[in-house]
Chain A
Amino acid sequence: MIRVALYLNQFFGGVGGEDKADLAPRLTEEIVGPAKAFRAALGDRGEVVATVICGDNYFAENIEGASKEVKELLAPYRPDLLFAGPVFNAGRYGIACGAVCKMAQTDLKIPAITGMYRENPGVDLYRKDVYIVETGDTARSMADVVKRMTTLAWKLLAGDKMGNPADEGYFSRGWLTNEASEKTGAERAVDMLLHKLRGEPFESEVPRPAYDRVKPAPAIKDLRSATIALVTDGGLVPKGNPDKIEVTAATRFGIYDITDKDRLDPNGYDVNHGGYDSVLVRQDPNRLVPVDVMRELEKKGVIGTLHNRFYSTTGLACIVEVMKKIGQAIAEDLKREGVSGVLLTST
Chain B
Amino acid sequence: MKLQLDRVIIRDVRFGATTAIHDGALHVDRSALQYLLLQDKRFAAVDIELAHPGEKCRITKVLDVIEPRAKTSEGDEDFPGAVGGQVPAGRGSTCVLEGAAVVLSDYREKVESGRSMDPNGEIIDMSGPGAEAGRYGKTHNVVLLPTPAEGVNTHEYLAASKIAGLMAAAYLARAGKGMTPDRTETLELPSLMATDKALAGLPRVVYIFQILTTQFDPIPGEPVLYGMNVPGMVPTLLHPNEVIDGALTSPLPALNVQTYQVQNHPIIKELYARHGKDLFFAGVIASTAPNNMAEIERMSNMAATMARYVVGAQGAILTKTGGGAPELTMARTAQRCERLGIRTTLAVLHMAADVRGEVTLFSMPEVDAIVSLGVPFTRVTLPAVERVIGRQHAVPGAPPIDGEIVRTENGVRGIHCQLGSSRIRAVKY
Contact = CB atoms under 8 A, between A and B. Distances in A.
Interface in A264-285: 274-279, 282
Interface string B172-184: 0000000000000
A181 interface: yes
Interface stretch (B39-47, B50-58, B142-150, B269-277): B269-277
A184 B117 contact: no
B410 to A, nearest CB: 10
Given A185-B266, A209-B360, A204 B426 contact: no
Contacts of A278: 114
Contact of B356 (A128, A207, A209, A279): A128
Contact of A206 (B279, B315, B354, B370): B370
A241 interface: no
A61 to B, nearest CB: 29
B351 interface: yes
B345 A320 contact: no
B216 interface: yes
Interface in B342-382: 343-348, 350-360, 363-365, 367-375, 377-378
Given A186-B420, A192-B369, A204-B369, A176 B215 contact: no
Given A193-B205, A319-B356, A179 B425 contact: yes
Interface residues of A, number: 51
A300 interface: no
Given A192-B345, A206-B359, A211-B363, A197 B203 contact: yes
B360 A190 contact: no
A188 B117 CA distance: 32
Contacts of B348: 206
Contact of A317 (B324, B359, B374, B421): B324
B317 A193 contact: yes
A319 B117 CA distance: 19
A178 B375 contact: yes
A166 to B, nearest CB: 9
Which of B266, B350, B358: most chain A Cβ within 10 A?
A: B358
Interface in A172-222: 172-190, 192-194, 196-197, 202, 204-211
Given A172-B428, A184-B421, A204-B369, A320 B358 contact: yes
Contacts of B351: 317
B110 interface: no
B267 A317 contact: no
A247 B425 contact: no
Interface size bucket, B side? Answer: 35 or more
B115 A277 contact: yes
B279 A320 contact: no
A208 B368 contact: yes
Contacts of A164: 427-429
Contacts of B197: none
Nearest to B343: A196
A18 interface: no
Given A208-B368, A277-B114, A319-B357, A194 B279 contact: yes
B352 A317 contact: yes
Contacts of B365: 208
A204 B357 CA distance: 17
B50 to A, nearest CB: 29
Contacts of B317: 189-190, 193
A165 interface: yes
Interface in B223-281: 266-267, 269-271, 274, 278-279
Contact of B117 (A189, A192, A248): A248
Contact of A197 (B314, B347, B377): B314
A318 interface: yes
B392 interface: no
A180 B415 CA distance: 12
Among A185, A193, A196, A317, chain B packs the most CB atoms within 10 A around the CB of A185
A26 B185 CA distance: 76
A44 interface: no
Given A172-B429, A178-B424, A190 B359 contact: no
Contacts of A180: 423-425
Contact of B423 (A165, A173, A181, A204): A181
Interface in A99-137: 128
A20 to B, nearest CB: 38
Contact of A189 (B215, B347, B375): B347
A42 B217 CA distance: 62
Given A180-B423, A185-B422, A165 B370 contact: no
A189 B369 CA distance: 9
Contacts of A196: 315, 343-345, 369
Q: What are the 6 closest A-B residue pairs judged by CB atoms, nearest first?
A: A185-B420, A186-B420, A186-B266, A209-B358, A206-B370, A193-B345
Interface of B: 113-117, 203, 205, 215-217, 266-267, 269-271, 274, 278-279, 314-317, 323-325, 343-348, 350-360, 363-365, 367-375, 377-378, 409, 417, 419-429
9 contacts: A177-B426, A185-B422, A193-B315, A197-B343, A204-B369, A208-B360, A209-B358, A211-B358, A276-B216
Given A178-B378, A274-B117, 17 more contacts: A165-B429, A175-B429, A176-B359, A177-B375, A179-B427, A184-B421, A185-B422, A185-B424, A186-B420, A187-B270, A188-B371, A189-B317, A190-B274, A206-B348, A276-B216, A277-B216, A279-B217
